[in-house]
């Protein structure tokens, strides 16, 4: 099984370059027009009143710009920012982080749905009343110390909105869901990133890369960097349509943005399991992958394309999915039962 270097997951060695490609201002942020319009109004109102922006929840699949938007808010408000990962935040850390914030600062919590319950409950009074309660001592001698906090903005990012508890979700004043990008917007992002990377790219090549980027800017930038490598090593350095095609073929990224691992999943359902239904655990064993990887990394985009379906009995490949991997279509006999052509 080939490695998923194009999957929308940030690798440590890519983080610095990803930060350099992120937009710094709202006007530089491409796409998500409805979100930008609402956020720009809220930012302007907060600036005019010299108040902290209301707490913001950003939801959507990985790689669509949730972290970038958090840093855009910081730049637009000209305030500080603290960034923490939800799974790593413990109760004892909450007080230290909150008391270190300056007035109107931004606290960005990534994967906020994975917060520990104790840490989440400690956030409740901080979000509503800008205070935290700390218990000093134990037993009958225990007493509660209340610390006032400066007004701040919590920006939470989540890929799984349904896993957020209702008390936490209700404390956000604004909730924005980021959608997959249209190819035209992705092509603009590719051209902007190419300028930052100081690489020349043709309009058609940018469109080609955008069309194979799964509707995700992070994937588009990842592909662009790999195509740039091919252009520099095998050609004159500029990215033409021919160079883009050569690099994408080398990377085994097809016209729908599917990689070898995605196609292996489709072929397993279509051929090994006769089109399905097949259970997730069975499919995971057949592919040598973890069930969570299949469910969270591979399946969302295949479902979006309409190549597979989730049914109560398991995963089923659709006619579109069969056609994509060259599997024979399923036909129905006079009784309506399906069989292979």
Q: Which of 74, 104, 153, 159 is catalytic?
A: 159
Considering 18, 22, 67, 105, which one is annotated as catalytic?
Answer: 67
Measuring CA to CA, how many Å separate 246 from each of 2, 19, 195, 202, 341? 19, 28, 21, 15, 35
CA atoms of 90 and 180, how far apart (whole Å) = 32
Whether 240 is catalytic is no
d(CA 317, CA 303): 10
Q: Which of 22, 66, 74, 214 is catalytic?
A: 66
Q: Which entry of 105, 110, 185, 262 is annotated as an active-site residue?
A: 110
Token couple for 86: 């939800």
How is the chain split among helix, strand and coil, in percent rounded to 5? 50, 15, 35
Decide if 110 is catalytic.
Answer: yes
**How far apart are alpha carbons 151 and 51 in whole angstroms?**
8
Contact 209/240 with Cβ under 8 angstroms? no
Give the span between the Cα atoms of 95 and 176, in whole angstroms: 27
DSSP conformation class of 307 = S
Catalytic annotation present for 254: no
The active-site residue out of 22, 191, 214, 218 is 218
Active-site positions read: 66-67, 110, 159, 218
């Amino acid at each position: 099984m080939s490695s998923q270097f194009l999957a929308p997951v940030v690798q440590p060695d890519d983080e610095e370059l990803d930060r350099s490609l992120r937009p710094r201002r709202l006007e530089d942020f491409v796409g998500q027009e409805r979100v930008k319009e609402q956020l720009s109004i809220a930012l302007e109102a907060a600036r005019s009143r010299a108040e902290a922006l209301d707490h913001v929840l950003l939801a959507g699949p990985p790689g669509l710009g949730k972290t970038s938007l958090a840093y855009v808010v910081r730049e637009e408000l000209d305030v500080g920012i603290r960034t923490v990962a939800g799974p790593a935040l413990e109760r004892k850390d909450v007080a230290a982080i909150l008391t270190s914030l300056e007035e109107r600062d931004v606290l960005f919590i990534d994967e906020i749905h994975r917060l520990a319950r104790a840490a989440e409950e400690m956030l409740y009074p901080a979000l509503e009343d800008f205070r935290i309660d700390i218990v000093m001592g134990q037993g009958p001698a225990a007493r509660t110390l209340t610390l006032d906090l400066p007004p701040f903005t919590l920006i939470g990012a989540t890929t799984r909105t349904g896993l957020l508890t209702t008390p936490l979700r209700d404390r956000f004043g604004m909730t924005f869901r980021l959608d997959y990008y249209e190819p035209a917007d992705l092509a603009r992002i590719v051209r902007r990133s190419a300028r930052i990377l100081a690489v020349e790219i043709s309009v058609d090549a940018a469109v080609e890369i955008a069309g194979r980027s799964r509707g995700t800017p992070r994937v588009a930038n990842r592909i662009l960097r790999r195509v740039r490598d091919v252009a520099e090593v095998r050609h004159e350095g500029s990215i033409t349509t021919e160079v883009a095609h050569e690099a994408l073929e080398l990377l085994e990224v097809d016209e729908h943005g599917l990689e070898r691992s995605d196609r292996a999943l489709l072929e397993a359902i279509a051929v090994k399991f006769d089109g399905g239904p097949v259970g997730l655990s069975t499919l995971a064993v057949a592919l040598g992958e973890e069930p969570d990887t299949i469910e969270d990394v591979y399946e969302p985009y295949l479902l979006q394309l309409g190549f597979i379906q989730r049914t109560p009995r398991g995963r089923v490949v659709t006619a579109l999915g069969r056609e994509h991997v060259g599997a024979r279509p399923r036909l129905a006999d006079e009784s309506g039962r399906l069989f292979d052509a």
